[in-house]
A and B are shown apart, each in its own frame.
Chain A
Amino acid sequence: MAFIAALDPRVKHTRNVSSIMCDVILALLPGTALYVWWFGFGVLVQICLAIVTALVCEAIVCGLRRKPMRQTLGDLSAIVTAWLLALCIPSLAPWWLIVSGTAFAVVLVKHAYGGLGTNIFNPAMAGYAALLISFPVPMTQWPGGDAATLDLAACLAVIGANTTALDGLTAATALDYAKTQLLLERGFDAMRGEPVFGTLASNGWEWIAVGHLGGGLWLLWRGVIRWQIPAAMLAALLLSALLFHLLDAQRYASPLFHLFAGATVLGAFFIATDPVTAATSPRGRLVFATGIGALVYVIRTWGGYPDGVAFAVLVMNMAAPAIDYFAAPRVLGTGSGQS
Chain B
Amino acid sequence: MHSAKSIFGAGLWRNNPGLVQLLGLCPLLAVTSTLVNGLGLGLATLLTLLVSNALVSASRGWLRPEIRIPVFVLIIASTVTAIELIMNAWFYGLYKVLGIFVPLIVTNCTIVARAEMFASRQPLAWAILDGLAMGIGFTLVLVVLGAVRELLGQGTLFVGAALLFGTTAQHWTISFSNDYPGFLLALLPPGAFFAFALLVAARNWLDNAFTERRTAPVADAGP
Contact = CB atoms under 8 A, between A and B. Distances in A.
Interface of A: 96, 100, 108, 112, 130, 133-136, 138, 162, 164
Nearest to B191: A134
B41 to A, nearest CB: 25
A141 to B, nearest CB: 13
A130 B193 CA distance: 14
Nearest to A96: B181
A134 B185 contact: yes
Contact of A162 (B179, B183, B185): B179
A133 B185 contact: yes
Contacts of B90: none
Contacts of B182: 134-135
A136 B184 CA distance: 9
A135 B194 contact: no
B179 A134 contact: no
B4 interface: no
Interface of B: 179, 181-186, 188, 194, 197
B33 to A, nearest CB: 14
Residue in A112, A134, A162, A164 whose Cβ sees the most chain B Cβ within 10 Å:
A134
14 contacts: A96-B181, A108-B194, A112-B197, A130-B185, A133-B184, A133-B185, A134-B183, A134-B184, A134-B185, A134-B186, A135-B182, A135-B184, A138-B181, A164-B181
Given A108-B194, A133-B188, A100 B179 contact: no
A134 B186 CA distance: 8
B183 A100 contact: yes
Contacts of B181: 96, 135, 138, 164
Contacts of B184: 133-136
A100 B153 CA distance: 13
A138 B185 CA distance: 15
A134 B185 CA distance: 5
Contacts of A136: 184
A95 to B, nearest CB: 12
B180 to A, nearest CB: 10
Nearest to B177: A162
